[in-house]
């Protein structure tokens, strides 16, 4: 198979779909890899590094898309990239379609085979291709939140962990999954006053065992969310319904009543955000104010630590890339129900029920779509 790796073009996105080491793995299986020039330059990999791994360097994204049977990316394809997709071409990347109707419609119209990292599952009910970036984003959320609380960024002027004789900031984390637990580890490590809300009792028990009293574990209800948000200096939104739009747990009314200069880091922004006041921002302009509350809603947070993120992502995606290349998408998807769960769009049909519900569109069962 011919695999194409274009350079990412989203604002301040320096990650790359495949590292030279991943290219070497694919070429050792007899596949060809075409990489757009300078695709890895943002994380320190030159075109020569890719050539030595066995890749062919192409001068433009148009050439990569025109020649490749499978496109491997990091972020969702931008409009100019979507226009280059062709029927039966495989697109393997993060898609986050639930909050993005234009992308959904254009991928359907492309007749391409679109497999989303974020809905691939595993034997334990986890999301193995989302997890590494969730780990990064969770840890980064506390760094971003600490900066947002500084007075020069519109915040309350608080040091997250305080100092002897001065109380630490109150950090409230909504959702105790991969993002939330990683955020909590960072916040606890900085000696903040940490509360985690989740409605899964098993998750709360697991976190209680880990944190041993260094973080409060609270069952999530409308009442408990409101109470803790209004007490918080920093709120981290880390809720996730796989493939679906994030539920709006932080309301405009909550925002109006929060402490002046408090901050929100909405890590769920890729799925539309869990705050009613959330709108996607970029690394170039990461924050904005609503009712004196700092909002940090960068839609590609891990892109800021692109080298770490690319390594973590490639570790997770490479086995699936090899499987798709070795077997072709139809056999690979039919043989692996967890990879099949990643199929969102194929041959002009939507195959993800959560995306269909978000956009009030019809969908077809993915296995039926493949066999059809």
Known catalytic residues are 96, 270
Helix, strand, coil percent values for the chain (each to nearest 5): 45, 20, 40
DSSP per position, 94-133: ----TT-HHHHHHHHHHT-EEEEGGG---TTS--TTTHHH
- Cα separation, 6 vs 16, in Å, equals 8
Strands of the sheet with 193-198, listed across from one edge: 216-219, 193-198, 170-174, 234-237, 263-266, 293-296, 287-290
Which residues lie across from 197 on neighbouring strands?
174, 218
Residue spans of beta strands (DSSP E) within the chain: 2-5, 32-36, 56-58, 70-72, 90-93, 113-116, 170-174, 193-198, 216-219, 234-237, 263-266, 287-290, 293-296, 343-346, 349-350
Q: Which two tokens stand for residue 35?
A: 């990489």
Angle (nearest 5°) at CA 296 between 147 and 310: 85
Backbone angles phi, psi at 264, to 5 degrees: -125, 130
Quick check: 121 and 105 in contact, CB under 8 A? Answer: no
DSSP assignment letter at 166:
B
Q: Which two tokens stand for residue 228?
A: 């803790």
- Cα separation, 144 vs 257, in Å, equals 22
- Cα separation, 181 vs 174, in Å, equals 10
Quick check: 272 and 357 in contact, CB under 8 A? Answer: no
Give the three-class secondary structure for 181.
Answer: helix
- Residue whose tokens read 């011919």: 2
């Amino acid at each position: 198979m011919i695999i194409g790796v274009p350079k990412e073009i989203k604002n301040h996105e320096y990650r790359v779909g495949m590292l030279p080491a991943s290219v070497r793995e694919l070429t050792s299986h007899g596949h060809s890899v075409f990489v757009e020039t300078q695709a890895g330059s943002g994380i320190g990999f030159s075109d020569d590094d890719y050539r030595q791994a066995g890749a062919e360097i192409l001068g433009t994204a148009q050439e990569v898309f025109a020649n490749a049977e499978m496109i491997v990316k990091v972020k969702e394809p931008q409009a100019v990239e979507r226009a280059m997709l062709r029927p039966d071409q495989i697109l393997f990347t993060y898609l986050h379609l639930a909050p993005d109707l234009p992308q959904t419609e254009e991928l359907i119209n492309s007749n391409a085979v679109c497999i989303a990292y974020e809905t691939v599952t595993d034997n334990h009910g986890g999301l193995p291709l989302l997890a590494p970036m969730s780990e990064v984003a969770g840890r980064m959320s506390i760094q971003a939140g600490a900066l947002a609380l500084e007075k020069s960024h519109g915040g309350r002027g608080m040091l997250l962990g305080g100092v002897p004789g001065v109380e630490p900031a109150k950090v409230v984390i909504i959702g105790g999954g991969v993002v939330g637990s990683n955020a909590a580890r960072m916040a606890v490590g900085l000696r903040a006053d940490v509360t985690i809300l989740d409605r899964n009792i098993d998750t709360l028990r697991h976190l209680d065992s880990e944190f041993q009293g260094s973080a409060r574990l609270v069952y999530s209800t409308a009442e408990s969310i409101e109470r803790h948000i209004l007490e918080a200096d920093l709120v981290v939104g880390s809720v996730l319904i796989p493939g679906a739009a994030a539920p709006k747990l932080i309301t405009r009314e909550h925002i109006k009543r929060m402490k002046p200069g408090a901050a929100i880091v909405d890590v769920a922004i890729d799925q539309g955000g869990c705050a009613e006041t959330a709108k996607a921002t970029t690394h170039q302009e990461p924050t904005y104010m609503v009712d004196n509350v700092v909002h940090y809603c960068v839609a590609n947070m891990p892109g800021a630590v692109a080298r770490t993120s690319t390594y973590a992502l490639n570790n997770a995606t490479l086995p699936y890339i090899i499987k798709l290349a070795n077997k072709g998408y139809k056999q690979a998807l039919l043989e692996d129900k967890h990879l099949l769960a990643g199929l969102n769009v194929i041959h002009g049909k939507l195959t993800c029920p959560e995306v269909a519900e978000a956009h009030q569109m019809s969908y077809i069962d993915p296995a039926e779509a493949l066999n059809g």
